[in-house]
Amino acid sequence: MMLLSFVDAKANQLCFYLRGFWQSIIPHSELDIFFWDTLEEWSLVNYDLDQPYTERERVFWHTLNQLHFWTEEKLKSDPLLIEELDRCLAFLEGKGICPLDCAGVRP
């Protein structure tokens, strides 16, 4: 799998999982499984280390990191965090502008 197709596919899934979590449809444990599955799949991606980042990729890695870093309670109830992540998801879904404070990097 190529880098951009990986990011596109996983960004869509990330949006699905996080929105489902906020709607109490997907349990937090599934977010954790998604995180680790994504890293496992990432290990199979072929890419050049010099390949530049796209804005979409930076936002994807930032959002994925936030998903793993924060506790279930914080992800569910912190209005500032939810607003930040919602802006990230909107951008990944093609519905918003790129958040300027996303500095995600490849693992």
Domains in the chain: boundaries:
3-92
Mean pLDDT across the chain: 95
Nearest CA to 76 out of 27, 34, 16 is that of 27
Which has the minimum average pLDDT: 37-41, 84-88, 100-104?
100-104
**How far, in Å, CA of 87 to CA of 65, rounded?**
15
Mean pLDDT, residues 34-54 taken together: 92
Mean pLDDT, residues 75-79 taken together: 97
How many other C-beta atoms lie within 10 A of the C-beta of residue 9? Answer: 13
Mean pLDDT, residues 57-66 taken together: 97
The answer to whether 63 and 92 have CB atoms below 8 angstroms apart is: yes
Tell me the whole-structure pTM to 2 decimals: 0.94
Per-residue burial over 23-52, b if 16 or more Cβ lie within 10 Å, else e, is: eeebeeeebeebbeebeeebeeeeeeeeee
Label residue 4 by pLDDT band (50, 70, 90). Answer: confident
